């Protein structure tokens, strides 16, 4: 029998040791995204509130908010992420966020006239 701790239990142990580690919080949000979207959103919200400079949060939090049928909140998160990523000089992340925002707003290139 495999006694290896699950990834989730390991992450929860890391979180218990250091509840302020942005990477661990992000990893927990990612881990919960499929099985418990509400729980995942709680972790993303912690990142948005306590680690607003953690650029990776914005894309996934925005997508999850859209999935949870909170389009206005999703748009705000995408827009804030654009500001944060540009300020940090993370232009690849900014580009992905811009694409996600455009898609969210129905501005896909396929819809252009």
Give me the residue spans of the domains in the chain. Answer: 7-111
Token representation of residue 36: 């418990």
pTM of the full structure: 0.88
pLDDT of the chain, 113 residues: tens digit per residue:
555 679 999 999 999 999 999 999 999 999 999 999 999 999 999 999 999 999 999 999 999 999 999 999 999 999 999 999 999 999 999 999 999 999 999 996 655 44
Taking alpha carbons only, the member of 8, 14, 49 closest to residue 32 is 8
Cα separations (Å) of 99 from 14, 31, 51, 112? 33, 24, 23, 14
C-alpha to C-alpha distance for 99 and 107, rounded to whole angstroms: 9
CATH superfamily of the domain spanning 7-111: Tetratricopeptide repeat domain (1.25.40.10)
């Amino acid at each position: 029998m495999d006694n290896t701790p699950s990834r989730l239990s390991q992450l929860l142990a890391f979180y218990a040791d250091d509840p302020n580690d942005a990477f661990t919080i992000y990893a927990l949000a990612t881990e919960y995204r499929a099985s418990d979207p509400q729980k995942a959103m709680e972790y993303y919200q912690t990142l948005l509130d306590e680690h607003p400079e953690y650029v990776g949060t914005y894309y996934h939090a925005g997508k999850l908010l859209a999935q949870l049928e909170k389009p206005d909140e999703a748009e705000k998160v995408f827009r804030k992420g654009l500001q944060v990523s540009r300020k940090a000089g993370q232009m690849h992340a900014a580009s992905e966020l811009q694409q996600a925002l455009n898609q969210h707003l129905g501005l896909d290139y396929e819809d252009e006239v």
